[in-house]
Amino acid sequence: MRLRCAVLDDYQGVATEVADWSPVADDVEVVGFARHFADEDALAAALADFDIVVTLRERVPFPASLLTRLPRLKLLIASGMRNTVIDYAAAEAQGVTVCGTPSASTPPVELTWALLLGLARGLVTENEALRAGGPWQSTVGADLHGRRLGLLGLGKIGSRVAQVGLAFGMRVSAWSRHLTKERAEEFGVELAASKEELLASSDFVSVHLALGDRTRGLIGAAELALLKPTAYLVNTSRAAIVDQDALLTALHEGRFAGAGVDVFDVEPLPADHPMRSAPRLLATPHLGYVSRANYEAYYTGAVEDIQAFLAGSPVRRLG
């Protein structure tokens, strides 16, 4: 009997198109789910008859309470090699093998710049006006050349964002708790004296930190108040790093020029979520990792994980 494999959050219906699943076709039936399961009961019911689950990034938590309700589950594959919403101890106790896949850091870098440029040049406003027969030019774009780009985090993604900023002729500074002057200088970046100094002095601020106890709520009302009235904030990292209520308040009150956001406290966003109608906000539905090359890497990696698991030698094990 063939094993059953569920692919979660396959919104575009491309999981079986961007990768070659034929190596496991004789042994595995693949079923994609285009809709997101909002609660654990619905998810447990949907996955009850599956032996393998492929989940995208950290969209779907797999706590012990869910894993114990999936007695058939033997292999859980998470895209990328880092996942903080899987209970690895519970998975091991249930006899579930957890594996990761290859992943690229370039797609979120590119989306960061799409948001930043879209904000700076009022692209959405101008495009909508052009298509609707509205005013011919209604905004005055913000310059990048000579302006300061402040990066919260200078890891794999942040350092690449820095390189693009330098290519635009921007002055780039960065801050994180353990960032050193030597590390910053490797990328031609100035080390900010503090988080507060970076926020107060930057014309554009972009968040590139991992979510953890020390970064959750790192940017709250007090920090947002430090931004220049002409500054822009971009977050393609994790929603919880920026206090969502504080961000909404600041946007409605016009305390700074605008924000570009790709991550949210609830995903997918409910139809009535205030982020959908917030002013001065350019928002995308968590597209940071959504690129063809990245999807090819995810799902090709998932096929490789399944092959290795079936052969009794799992690869890229997590936890």
User: What are the residue numbers of the active site?
Assistant: 238, 267, 286
Query: What is the C-alpha separation between 21 and 138, in angstroms, rounded?
Result: 50
What lies within 8 Å, CB to CB, of 313 at 6+ separation is none
Half-sphere exposure of 311 (CA within 13 A, CB side): 11
Evaluate whether 33 touches 60 at the Cβ level (below 8 Å): no
Contacts of 222 by beta carbon, 8 Å cutoff, 6+ apart: none
For residues 311 and 316, what is the distance between their CA atoms, to the nearest angstrom? 14
∠ CA 80-86-91, rounded to 5°: 115
Query: Residue 205 forms beta bridges with which residues?
Result: 150, 233
Q: Of 279, 288, 141, 143, which Cα lies nearest the Cα of 207?
A: 288
Task: Return the residue matching tokens 């076709």.
Answer: 25
Angle 203-207-209 from CA coordinates, rounded to 5°: 150
Residue 287 CB neighbours (<10 A) = 15
DSSP codes, 231-269: -EEEE-S-GGGB-HHHHHHHHHHT-SSEEEE---SSSSP
